[in-house]
Chains A and B, each alone.
Chain A
Amino acid sequence: MERILKLKTVCMMRTACALLVGLAGVGAGAAPASAETRSFVVSWFSQATYSNDHDCSGGVHPVIEEIYLRYAQRLGVSPEKIELWRKEFATGEDDRELQEFVGMRGRIDGQPVNPFSNPASVIDLHMPGLDGKYAYGFNLDGKGTDDPNAFEDPETHERGVEHQLYRALGCARAFRGSLEGRPTYWAWAWGQLKESQPAWLITITGQNLNQDGPVSIALERALEHLRSNSDGSPRQDMAYRIDPDPRSRNVFRGEIKGGVVTVSQHGDLRLLQNPLVAPELDLKNFHLRLKLNPDGLSKGFMGGYQPWHAIYFGFAGVGLGGEQQVMGDIPGSYYLMKRYADADPDPKTGQNMRISVTYYIEAVNAFVAPAAALKDRQTANR
């Protein structure tokens, strides 16, 4: 039965396959003459979290209201006023004064400034990071397998896993969750963007994808956004055109083993994302593991080192309203990421400019073809 399915898949993929083979400049050289190709569109993207009861010995961060009052206290607001503001929170009264205060809680030369665009001007509350044992991810630098403080992946049990973004944000409420029970921030961001953000496409090419062997993995961006069913679930078998923009064309050598695809030649992943949250996903030392599922959701992880300032300014874009409704203390995340960043030191200051991160992705089957090739075909047919 699998055989029949595969033959049908090949048969239906033929059009897309033929077009894909016509891709110029791919050059990975991993696609043999009679190749099997399967394509997917990413249907979920968020940081991979494994929150549990033993991962924040310093405590899960308090609610944003409480954090605001800490800022107030540190910035010299009188205790009476702080109590007044605490009551206003509880009763939901008009708290305009408090809002103005927190909305300008940065200080430069004693003057209040916007805290989101000037995070270094905000007091560092030294919120605790995560210190649990488990985190999804990869041993990016090949070191630390014997380090007792290093993460262990709860699925593969790989030791020495690097996921410093998880250390940084894992105790903040909006960033806690599991693969199924999704963290607030990431669920919100995805929901905001999936109907407009051009989708990401993954194409696996190999001799026979039902057997172990080498593969070529292409990660690209589509021209259109992800398509969903009427109940919001991702729609299988839609067709996406590959954006020719070279800023989002990536090919990696990898292998498939037991139905799981991994990257073996770790390079740089660059994918344009969206200007509202993060303009670009830039992962150095790119790692991937993706379990292919012919009938439903393929699930997996992407890891690497990402510039943390970019992550920060993606967060900062939501501003005061987003801080209160979705994210929690935004400038606080700046300090946490700064503290835990672990790669790419700045030559002058020594501050690490990249932070290790693991993202959890899901993907559904898709037809893909380069937009350019389609245009030619369509013009030819007219």
Chain B
Amino acid sequence: MHDPSLRKNPLRRSRLLWGSALAVVACGVIVTLLALKPHHGKATPGPAVTRRLTAEQFQNIIADVFGEDIDLGGRLEPDLRVDGLLAVGASQVSISPAGMEQYDAMGRAVAEQIVDARHRDQALPCKPAAAADFVEPCAREFLSKVGRLLYRRPLTDSQLQAYVTAARIGTETAKSFYEGVALSVAGMLSSPEFLFREEIVEPDPDRPGQYRLDAYSKASQLSFFLWNSAPDLKLLAAAGAGELQTKRGLARQVDRMMASPRLESGIRAFFVDDFRFDEFETLAKDSTLFPKFSAQVAAEAREQTLRTIVDVVLERNADYREIFTTKKTFMTPELGSIYRVPVFNDAPNGSPDAWQPYEFPAQDPRGGVLIQVAFTALHSPAGRSSPTIRGKALREIMLCQKVPSPPGDVDFTKFELASARGETTARQRLAVHATAPACAGCHKIMDPVGLSLEHFDGAGEFRTTDHGLPIDASGSLDAMKYTDSSGLAKAVAENPATPACLVDRLAAQALGRVNSSGERAWVKDLKQSFAASGYRMKPLIRDIALSDALYTVSAPAPRSGNTQEIGQ
């Protein structure tokens, strides 16, 4: 890292002595500062975590290893959200019996497809002479290759032997080589080494007494972060050759992976998690009240927000905060009808709808992801909008702020009287939230935020009246006041909590846990760099991917050593 002032500082002969003394001192100070500055170093690393594969990671790995056309044939166990992210909950969930049934069934379904007539010749390096012949070298080669990709590290000799034996047993019992191999692969797909991401550590030679992830765990950590999937062959090779344990080797892989179109998968996976898009699975709107809303609209709305974000942070490598204010988005004709903007098809009658870029006109106050259906409709009940739910969601998702739970002894009578009159706007109904002292404390951080989105009804459609009365969309976010949703968007974009929240979440997603106290300095560092880069996500992602924090762990917990009682 150069100090620009040094370069520009002209040294003239007459001041050589002073100049060089100054330079030496300056260098010394800078070197000391550099050493002290915890740039990507940290005082105490956090613990290693074992994470269960998320549903999307499971699907991605199967597609990567066996092909996009493999059908999973089952349902994955639901993920758990902890501290705002499924990626963090992954370190706390296990697999229930019902879930295991599904994983077992899916493993078998996938394995059956791999050895079926269409796929077997590409997969296996041989053909058995007779159907029930067990061709050991062939099975060994195949299982070793597949195992390395599925386990994210080469199989140990005993592991490989176990799978070869399993394939033999399967072949003998089922009288079919392909069946035997399939059963062995199915076994791999339901083994803990596949389903859980174990962090295997080794002593850190650079920091005696501390531990770091071994090369393959490092590869996994990096690959799941950048691409939301298992390491590819190049990354595994780099791990095996020891390259990842060097700064240059790691940087080379990081740059390769960030230049790949697969980076978009990683970014999408992060926002799908962070923005709680898993809630789309249970999203339903009343069809009499919102006839335009449908499952197709919901799916397109989700995609719209993702495309909007990817356009800002990846395609244009722009300021992350622009996702809240940008007028540029993407539409399909169906979405156009919801937003009430003209989105013309560009294909013959009856063709499927295509995506097209759309920019809200200058005089249209709409823009950014907060007014998009994937936010407004996702955070509304089935029959109406909800300023409180939306305000809470905004605080929790975009600003990482916790909203306390409601107290148990709320008096709802005032609220009932307002509702009973029926024909009132949300602002009027929720007035009690602002006036009753017991309510106002918490609701003042939610309602004024959500009320500015009242032009968007329960299904995200724009409206000018609520129950026939005009809508007042003014509100405030902390100190910033505004008169409509574009003001809210600006307030969110300019709120310092917004970029800080992104950094916290991204770091947590990479680590699989919330950062520990010893890692705070590192995260603070990330935030400063993020700001300095103009809040661009690509440099932030690169920063995290190259951080030692991602790959060092605290001392492993002592083991009881006795596995006997577990094996019963």
- A residues within 8 Å of B by Cβ? 1, 4-5, 8, 11-12, 14-16, 196, 198, 223-225, 227, 229-231, 233, 235-241, 367, 369, 374, 378
Which of B47-55, B247-255, B305-313, B339-347 touches A?
B339-347
B331-375 vs A, CB cutoff 8 Å, 1 = contact: the mask equals 001101110111111101110000000000101100000000000
For the complex, what is the distance from the CA of A240 to the CA of B295, rounded to whole Å?
A: 23
Which residues in B have their C-beta under 8 angstroms from that of A227? Answer: 333-334, 337
Which stretch in B166-174, B201-209, B400-408, B462-470 binds the other chain?
B462-470
* Residues on A with beta carbons closer than 8 Å to the beta carbon of B287: 230-231
In the assembly, what is the distance between CA of A235 and CA of B293, in Å? 10
Interface centre among A196, A198, A229, A236 (most CB of B within 10 A): A229
Q: How far is the CB of B468 from chain A (nearest CB, A)?
A: 7
Contact A238 B341 (CB under 8 A): no
Shortest Cβ distance from B345 into A: residue: A224
In the assembled complex, the CB of A39 is this many whole angstroms from the nearest CB of chain B, namely 10
How distant is the Cα of A367 from the Cα of B291 in the complex, in angstroms? 19
Determine the chain B residues whose CB is within 8 A of the CB of A239 once the complex forms.
Answer: 333, 336-337, 342-345
| Interface residue tally for chain B (C-beta within 8 Å) | 28
Interface residues of B (CB under 8 A from A): 287, 291-292, 294-296, 333-334, 336-338, 340-346, 348-350, 361, 363-364, 464-465, 468, 470
- Given A196-B349, A236-B292, A239-B333, residue A369 in contact with residue B468 (CB < 8 A): no
Instruction: Report how far A229 CA is from B342 CA in the complex, Å.
Output: 17
| Residue pair B337, A230 in contact (C-beta under 8 Å) | no
**Least CB distance, B280 to chain A, in whole angstroms:** 16
Query: Which residues does chain A contribute within 8 Å of B292, judged by CB atoms?
Result: 229, 235-236
A238–B349 CB distance below 8 A: no
Query: A233 touching B291 by the CB < 8 A rule?
Result: yes
Cα–Cα distance between A193 and B87 once the two chains are bound (Å): 49
A225/B337 in contact, CB under 8 A: no
- Shortest CB distance A9–B (Å): 9
The answer to whether A5 and B464 have CB atoms under 8 Å apart is yes
Nearest B residue to A232, CB-CB: B291
Can you spell out 25 A-B residue pairs with CB atoms less than 8 angstroms apart? A5-B464, A8-B464, A11-B364, A12-B340, A12-B341, A12-B342, A196-B349, A196-B350, A223-B345, A225-B349, A230-B296, A231-B287, A235-B292, A236-B292, A237-B338, A237-B340, A238-B333, A238-B336, A238-B337, A239-B333, A239-B337, A239-B343, A367-B341, A369-B344, A378-B346
Q: Bound complex: CA of A231 vs CA of B292, how far in Å?
A: 9
In the bound assembly, the distance between CA atoms of A4 and B455 in angstroms comes to 13
Counting residue pairs across A and B whose Cβ atoms lie within 8 Å, the total is 76
Specify which chain B residues have a CB less than 8 angstroms from the CB of A15 in the assembled complex: 342, 361
Q: Which 6 A-B pairs have the closest CB atoms?
A: A367-B342, A230-B294, A239-B342, A237-B337, A229-B291, A239-B344
Contact A4 B470 (CB under 8 A): yes
Residues of A within 8 A of B341 (CB): 12, 367
Complex formed: what's the CA distance from A237 to B291 in Å?
Answer: 12
Sample of 7 more A-B contacts, CB < 8 Å, known A1-B470, A196-B349, A224-B349: A223-B349, A230-B287, A230-B296, A236-B292, A238-B337, A241-B344, A369-B344
Which of chain B's residues have a CB closer than 8 A to the CB of A5? Answer: 464
The minimal Cβ–Cβ distance linking B287 to chain A, given in whole angstroms, is: 6
From A8, A238, A369, A378, residue with most partner B Cβ within 10 Å: A238
Nearest-Cβ distance from residue B301 to partner chain A, whole angstroms: 14
The residue on A at minimum CB distance from B294 is A230
B333: A residues at CB distance < 8 A: 227, 238-239
Task: Give chain B nearest CB distance to A197 CB in angstroms.
Answer: 9
Closest residue of A by beta carbon distance from B339: A237
Considering only CB atoms, which chain A residue lies closest to B297 in the complex?
A230
Complexed CA–CA distance, A367 and B358 (Å): 15
Residues of B within 8 A of A233 (CB): 291
Q: Which residue of B lies closest to A231 (CB)?
A: B287
Rounded to whole angstroms, the CA-CA distance of A241 and B465 in the bound complex is 30
Least Cβ–Cβ distance between B298 and chain A, in angstroms? 11
Please name the residue on chain A nearest to B468 by beta carbon. Answer: A1
Q: In the assembly, what is the distance between CA of A234 and CA of B178, in Å? A: 53
Q: Give A375's nearest chain B residue, CB to CB.
A: B346
Residues of B within 8 A of A240 (CB): 344
* Set of chain A residues within 8 Å of B465, measured between Cβ atoms: 1
Question: In the complex, which of the residues A11, A224, A233, A240 has the most CB atoms of chain B within 10 Å of its own CB atom?
Answer: A224
Max chain A C-beta neighbours (<10 A), residue from B294, B340, B468, B470 = B340
Q: Looking across the interface, which residue of chain B has its beta carbon closest to that of A230?
A: B294
Compute how far the CA of A83 lies from the CA of B337 in the bound complex, rounded to whole angstroms.
59
Residue of B nearest to A225 (CB): B349
A62 to chain B, nearest CB (A): 40
**What residues on A are CB-neighbors of B337 within 8 Å?**
227, 235-239
Q: How far is the CA of A8 from the CA of B292 in the complex (A)?
A: 20
Q: Cβ of A223: which chain B residues have Cβ within 8 Å of it?
A: 345, 348-349
Given the complex, which residues of A lie within 8 Å of B295, measured CB to CB? 230
Rounded to whole Å, the gap between the CB of B9 and the closest CB of chain A is 50
Q: Is the CB of B470 within 8 A of A241?
A: no
Quote the shortest CB–CB distance from B354 to chain A (angstroms). 12
Q: Taking the nearest CB of chain B, how far is it from the CB of A254, in angstroms? A: 24
Q: How far is the CA of A15 from the CA of B360 in the complex (A)?
A: 11
